[in-house]
Amino acid sequence: MRKSMFNLSLLTVLSMSAMMQAQAWTGEKQEKPKERVVLKYGPITPAHRTDEAMQKFREYGLGQFIHWGIYAIPGNEWNGVSARGGAAASEWIRSWSGPTAPKDWKNTYDNLYKQFNPKDFDAKRWAKQAKDMGAKYVIFTTKHHDGFALWPTKYSAYNITKTPYKKDIVKQIVDAYDAEGIDVFLYFSILEWNNPDYLYKAPQTAEEKAKYSKFLKYTENQLLELLKNYPQIKGFWFDGTWDASWKSAYEFTYNLEKKLREKHPGLIIGSRFRNDENQKRHFDTNGDLLGDYEQGWERKLPKNYESLNGNDWDCVMTIPPNGWGYMKDWNGIYTKTPDDLIEMLMRSRSMGGNFVVNFGPDGNGNFHPEEDKIMKEIGEWTKVNAEAIYNVEHSPMSLSNYGYFTKKGNNTYLTVFNRPVNQIVRLRVDKKATEVPSSASLLTGNRKLELKQSDMGLDLDKNTYYDIILPKDYQTDKAFVIKIEMKQGSVKTDKLMDAKM
């Protein structure tokens, strides 16, 4: 195994900086106030939902995110000139400014819909690739910040029916992924750059209030339309909710969330949708989660399980360092490898979260060749190691320098990224534990491994140790999983040293 794999991927996670449009919270542990504040617009759903939809959400493990829209046509460049440094990201290319920006660029961009004709688009092919990768849910962009809708919305003329392609893309995605057994969540941007009724600041004058009220009704109409058109969906993934205008509309957003949930029982909504009356997003003034799962993990992972306070969560991750939409040119930037993404997947699962990999198809409906390769390689790994990925939970087993633990029933799984040179994987088990390892095997080929207790006999050591011996003839440059069967029982230790003083 390449020794650098774990270290490089961990470095990748730590080096990710927050992108301007993410506006996500810092990810630090939420401290609850000493005295609770009475809120009128706090959480609507109870913490830690136990219904079938949320139970299934916890089991997903791996998801796919697809960013697609008219920004796929330029692919982060125009007429051979790169937008790097001039636009925040490929899907933000409409905001391209500075000396490299083409003349009258916003007008050029807003008319790109006239060229949108993805002749190679095949939703069934995409869904099959996602299934082969091991994805259990997909998040698909219905409308990004440019306001262009990929469904035939009745509430805006700026939609797919005005393109040469004309057909409802959202319907094709929902139907194809649903047919493959993959749950669908719809991404929806509140922010719309070119909508004349959208405001960035909180409305102050009567005219501004009337204008923004019109925008709010338009937003409500589109969301209810999506629920009506695509009843199979499992939830919404909201974006563009950070502006003062939206934050000032907390009464409206509270009532809108209630209405969406009433129309679609079991609907899953993350913590990005709205704030309380004190402008608190993700978590309200009392530190309670505003939504069904924590949605602040964008291109970063939590520090540890304890910092999550038991909340459900997922991490959405790009392959390039920055940018969710299609980029023609990947030269000169670090793009994450399948090994990197698998490491992040298993780190997420060890902390009870889901991991979602983003892909940005081009204007013709094809993924970047490197993305095709990544999906294929991740799929080959998840197929072999599915038992350690899906329908698992956080394991109380001590942290390991070798990799990450997950747990299902009586079985604990250790995904090894750092293979020890001496071929011995050592497990630390608290001497007070009531559950101890009884056997070990490789998920690859279900090969039995030698397991032996190796107590150091130190009274001052609160742990005892179990050694798993790896076969010398088992060599791989990929991460691999050790399945450890646990049994009820107390730890037996030999006193080799009396530590009394």
Does residue 119 fall inside a structural domain? yes
| SS (HEC) of 417-436 | CCCCCCCEEEEEEECCCCEE
The predicted structure's pLDDT at residue 5 = 40
The answer on 216 and 359 residing in a single domain is yes
- Which structural domain, as residue segments, surrounds residue 274? 60-388
Mean pLDDT throughout 28-45?
Answer: 83
Q: Between 385 and 12, where is the model more confident?
A: 385
Mean pLDDT throughout 340-345?
Answer: 98
Judge whether 70 lies within some domain.
yes
Last residue of a domain, one of 339, 360, 388: 388
Instruction: Strands of 360-423 (E only): list them.
Output: 403-408, 411-416
CB 193 within 8 A of CB 147: yes
Identify whether residues 297 and 327 lie together within a single domain. Answer: yes
Asked if the model's pLDDT at residue 492 lies above 70, the reply is: no
Among the ranges given (20-24, 278-282, 290-294), the one the predictor scored with the smallest mean pLDDT: 20-24
pLDDT digits (tens, 9 = 90+) for 308-328: 999 999 999 999 998 999 999
Quickly count: other Cβ atoms within 10 Å of residue 469's Cβ.
14
Q: Does a structural domain hold residue 132?
A: yes
Provide the pLDDT for residue 346. Answer: 98
Domain identity same for 384 and 408 = no
pLDDT at 33 over 80: no
Whether residue 425 is predicted with pLDDT greater than 70 in this model: the reply is yes
236 and 323 together in one domain: yes
Q: What is the pLDDT of residue 431?
A: 86
- Pair 377, 338: CB distance under 8 Å: yes
pLDDT tens string 357-393:
999 999 999 999 999 999 999 999 999 999 999 999 9
Average confidence (pLDDT) over 56-69: 99
Question: For 189-240, how does the pLDDT look when each residue is reduced to its tens digit (9 = 90+)?
Answer: 999 999 999 999 999 999 999 999 999 999 999 999 999 999 999 999 999 9
320 and 464 fall within a common domain: no
* Dihedral of alpha carbons 285, 290, 293, 298, sign: negative
Name the pLDDT band for 8 (thresholds 50, 70, 90).
very low
Q: State whether 375 and 475 are in the same domain.
A: no
| pLDDT digit string, tens, across residues 16-25 | 333 333 334 4
Q: Are residues 104 and 221 in the same domain?
A: yes
CA distance 485 to 375: 31
Q: For residues 387 and 227, give the distance between their C-alpha atoms in angstroms, rounded to a whole number.
A: 34
- Tell whether 27 is covered by a domain: no
pLDDT band at 499 (very low <50, low <70, confident <90, very high): very low
Retrieve residue 18's tokens: 């927050």
3-state secondary structure of 247: helix
pLDDT score at 25: 43
Secondary structure element (H or E) that encloses residue 281, with its range: none
SS3 at position 357: strand
The answer as to whether 205 is a domain residue is yes
427 close to 439: Cβ distance less than 8 angstroms: no
Same domain, 424 and 384: no
Q: Would you state the pLDDT for residue 489? A: 73
21: closest CA among 58, 71, 60, 57?
Answer: 71
113 and 248 part of one domain: yes
Both 378 and 467 in one domain: the answer is: no
Note the pTM of the prediction, 2 decimals.
0.91
How large is the average pLDDT for residues 91-107? 97
pLDDT at 494: 45
Task: Confirm if 484 and 431 have CB atoms less than 8 A apart.
Answer: no
Residue 190 counted as domain residue: yes
**Same domain membership, residue 420 and residue 304:** no
For the chain, the helix, strand and coil percentages under 3-state DSSP, each to the nearest 5? 30, 20, 50
Q: Token pair of 357, please?
A: 């990999």
Q: What is the CATH number of the domain that holds 441?
A: 2.60.40.1180
**CATH assignment of the domain containing 147:** 3.20.20.80
Burial class (CB in 10 A: 0-12, 13-18, 19+), 409: exposed
pLDDT at 462: 83
Q: What percent of the chain stands above pLDDT 90?
A: 85
The residue among 388, 415, 445 that closes a domain is 388
What rounded mean pLDDT belongs to the chain?
Answer: 91
Domain boundary among 354, 388, 422: 388
The total of structural domains in the chain comes to 2
pLDDT, average across residues 477-483 = 96
Does residue 31 fall inside a structural domain? no
Q: Report percent pLDDT > 70 for the chain.
A: 90
501 within domain boundaries: no
Output the pLDDT for position 30.
59
For residue 3, the model assigns a pLDDT of: 38
Could you tell me if 428 and 312 lie in one domain?
no
Tens of pLDDT, residues 226-273: 999 999 999 999 999 999 999 999 999 999 999 999 999 999 999 999
